Amino acid sequence: MHTPASMVMGIVFAPLGLVLVFTAAITPQWREGQARLGMTGPGSLLRSGSVDTLLLLRSDGLWESCLQVEHSELKQCWPIAGPYQRDPRVRLAQGLVLTSLFLCGTGIVLACIGVRCWTDLPLRGVAATGGLLVVMAGLLSLTALGVYTHNLRRLGMVSPSQGTNNHKFPHLSLRPAGSLYFGWLGSCLQVLGGGALLFSFKQPRCLTLNELNESIKNEINNTGYI
């Protein structure tokens, strides 16, 4: 069977997008920041009056946060907790990403069944339905990424009106991290792959009986057989 190019594009891009979005979901680098922590000690002050500092690297994901000391193997990760975990925008992103992964996986299964490489004719309706699910999955993950990126520096931050300013930890300058870029790329691939599978709804034009007879006659005339 000659598989349409749109189907080939769909069954290649959709799984690749799924892998990238899944990688983004399980890694704790959605946002990251760094801060210098002053380490003062009586011994160092008596010797030179200097102040030692440590550069702390903090990263947060959808389900895990990590803290590492720069130029050191000291690193600790833990499940997200506190205001960040309870933030409704983080929970929204979690739900959208999980739904996106489920829809994309289901769509890929339907697309593989619809392509039916072991038979002569593909199930175009099934393949196109799988493409629709993949497109929906891509849009959901794009929404999750957009919500998270737009509120990145405010997620889990306690408002001053609550009167719980905590000076125990230094202020972190937060910025987007690598997992977000994996997510954006994977979501775009999902939309492209699902959109390509949607072209499966377009049925190929079949020749009518008269057109088929005329084609056979022309072929006979061209080959010289009577």
Angle 192-94-196 from CA coordinates, rounded to 5°: 10
How many whole angstroms separate alpha carbon 84 and alpha carbon 151? 12
Amino acid identity, position 61: G
Integer angstrom CA distances of residue 177 from 38, 44, 67, 153, 172:
25, 36, 14, 12, 14
CATH of the domain at 178: 1.20.140.150
Phi, psi (deg, nearest 5) at residue 41: -140, 145
Angle between helices 5-26 and 124-150 (to 10 degrees): 30
Angle between helices 178-198 and 5-26 (to 10 degrees): 150
Residue 63 lies inside a defined structural domain of this protein: no
What is the number of H-type helices and E-type strands within the chain?
Answer: 7, 5
> What pLDDT was estimated at residue 215?
61
Residues counted in the chain: 226
Residue 87 lies inside a defined structural domain of this protein: yes
Residue 223 lies inside a defined structural domain of this protein: no
Angle 57-68-154 from CA coordinates, rounded to 5°: 40
Residue 134 lies inside a defined structural domain of this protein: yes
> What pLDDT was estimated at residue 2?
62
Q: DSSP state, 4?
A: -
Residue 197 lies inside a defined structural domain of this protein: yes
DSSP per-residue letters across 33-75:
EEEEEEE--HHHHHHT---EEEEEEEEE-SSEEEEEETTSS-E
Structural domain range at position 184: 5-33+83-155+173-203
Residue 89 lies inside a defined structural domain of this protein: yes
Residue 142 lies inside a defined structural domain of this protein: yes
User: How high is the mean pLDDT in each 10-residue block of the chain (226 residues)?
Assistant: 76 95 94 73 44 78 89 83 91 96 95 74 82 96 95 77 45 84 96 89 52 61 57
Short-list 3, 68, 75, 34, CA closest to 170:
34
> What pLDDT was estimated at residue 164?
41
Residue 138 lies inside a defined structural domain of this protein: yes
Q: What is the pTM of this model?
A: 0.77
- Tally of domains in the chain: 1
